[in-house]
Structure 1
């Protein structure tokens, strides 16, 4: 079954330290597999692995990854005390108390409230823990994304199949019309000869038959119809494949356009020419649709 290149997935994994890792993945159509990742500075060491894991799973598409980090819990915070600064505050407060002839009432809690005595910072994440959590979040997000791509691919397959069936029906009409074209040409040629000669000159039936045979050979489109029908069957076979087939389908559309153009130029029939335009219009729709196929 074909898969679309458009999708979205997200997942959140919370590590034992209290850190929460959230990963969002968006994908759109692209000729190759192009991965862009936006990660917090302290998790920059994970960027290469994120891109590698996406490329191992998908063949085509532009992928945008957004990794965010929320830090909770004791292990995610780093508390530090500036002892020298606290001692300096204490000394200054004692000197001030002596100068004002006051009894100093200084406790530890008061000192910790002085500016810059206590500093609370985010602790650097454990690399192994972060890598394990982020890779788990990525796999879950990619699973959601792939489900969306598969669902859209199923709808795309149904639509393309309907268009291919329409082309198949038109090709059958073309084949029927092409069978009658030589006889119509013969009748028209006989009528023209009679009109030009005013029925004075007798028609040479052997010469007429030879002329019709040459014409029939020149407008013969049986091979083109056979190849076009074969391309339709091959197209449907590829759509059922589990492998990425977007590039193959794009090439096959080019071949189908080549065959229908040849039919239009060789057939020498107004009805067929109109049907050829219809087929080319449907092929263009299919070409646009498969631009989003992986």
Structure 2
């Protein structure tokens, strides 16, 4: 399945008084390049988010933005142990009265707060809340990643249609080249015959040179092998395009091989009509190469 490297996905979810918005944007890149924009309180979770992005998005420049808003009141992780503090205040008041000291209630309260166990720590409750919040944040991020991947698949479907169109145009031009090549061969044969006649009529006729010239012209003008290889490359491109593991790098490599055969046909044909068709094929091939850079 073909996927584009360009994509976007966003998700917003609310749960337990927490609103989470996640956005994922992806662009072209030779490698996987991840940038995360997170609230500072969740900065220690960046590695975990990076792993999720790596597993799902594979390649490209990826940017994740996370926004977290709490709608309900936040409970403190530490609370006053009211019964004990009240007992401390009463005891301190009774002590000050027995010593005939004039101590204000605010001072007594401050002293009470400094006594042992004046505060209750709710570490377990805070830990449970943080775990619940992170689970909610993670699910929201996964939904945004899923939508981005879905966007990439849709873009990839459009790219696949374009690739098939470009390949078909090249194949059509190759068919026209084959037709023109049939017309070209008699002209080449006549040219070789005239050259052979000229050589044999010369007083300085050299049999070895004659054979070399003959082989040279045969190899120079014959494009049969190039046509066969080009057909094979076009078929292989479509085969990879339809494969489940289709990827831009492999398609780009095949496109380079297609270009090599097209260039050779153009240089060996020595025919104006064929060279015009070759230029048209190159134009379509450039479109293919450009688009393969946007495929995962």
State the TM bucket, normalised to the shorter chain: 0.7 to 0.9
State the distance in 2 between where 1:131 and 1:28 align: 27
Mapping for residues 25-40 of structure 1, pairs under 5 Å: 25-40=24-39
Instruction: Tell me, yes or no, if structure 1 residue 229 matches structure 2 residue 228.
Output: no
Deviation at 1:287, TM superposition (A): 0.8
| Post-superposition offset of 1:286 | 0.9
Indicate conservation of the 8 Å contact 1:175/1:222, yes or no: no
Q: CA deviation at 1:81?
A: 9.4
Q: Distance in 2 between matches of 1:30 and 1:213?
A: 48
Aligned pair count reads: 243
2:287 pairs with one of 249, 272, 285 = 285
Report if aligned partners of 1:228, 1:259 keep a CA contact under 8 Å in 2.
yes
SS in 2 for 1:24: strand
Once the 2 structures are TM-superposed, how far is the Cα of residue 214 of structure 1 from its aligned partner?
Answer: 5.8
Q: 1:192 to 1:214 in 2, by over 3 A?
A: closer
- Does residue 11 of structure 1 match 2:11? yes
Residue 183 of structure 1: SS of its match in structure 2?
Answer: helix
Shift of 1:270: 1.5
TM-score (norm 1): 0.74
How many Å apart are 1:125 and its aligned residue? Answer: 8.8
Work out the CA distance in 2 between the residues paired with 1:238 and 1:150.
16
> Hey, what's the Cα distance between the residues in 1 that align with 2:277 and 2:67?
55
Aligned equivalent of 1:54: 53
- 8 Å CA contact 1:245, 1:293 repeated in 2: yes
Offset from partner CA, 1:60-94 (integer Å, 9 cap, x none): 111100000111113x35499999xxxxxxxxxxx
Q: Distance in 2 between matches of 1:183 and 1:228?
A: 23
Cα distance in 1 between the residues matched to 2:157 and 2:77: 54
* Residue correspondence of structure 1 range 79-94 to structure 2 within 5 A: none
1:124-175 deviations in Å (ceiling 9; x for gaps): 9943223211221121111111111111111111111011000001111112
The structure-2 alpha-carbon separation of the partners of 1:192 and 1:219, relative to structure 1 and needing over 3 Å to count, comes to: closer
Measured after TM superposition, the shift of residue 50 of structure 1 is: 0.7
Q: How does 1:71-220 map to 2 (within 5 A)?
A: 71-74=70-73, 76-78=74-76, 126-188=129-191, 215-220=217-222
- Aligned partner of 1:107 in structure 2 is none
Cα separation, 1, equivalents of 2:60 and 2:18 = 31
Point out 4+ residue stretches in structure 1 off by more than 4 angstroms. Answer: 79-83, 188-194, 210-214
Q: Deviations over 1:16-59 (max 9, x none)?
A: 2x122211100111111111100000111211111111101122
Task: Determine if contact 1:182/1:216 at 8 Å carries over to the other structure.
Answer: no
- Shift of residue 212, structure 1, vs aligned partner: 7.0
Structure 2's unaligned 5+ residue stretches are: 83-125, 203-210
TM-score by length of 2: 0.73
1: CA distance, partners of 2:194 / 2:226? 31
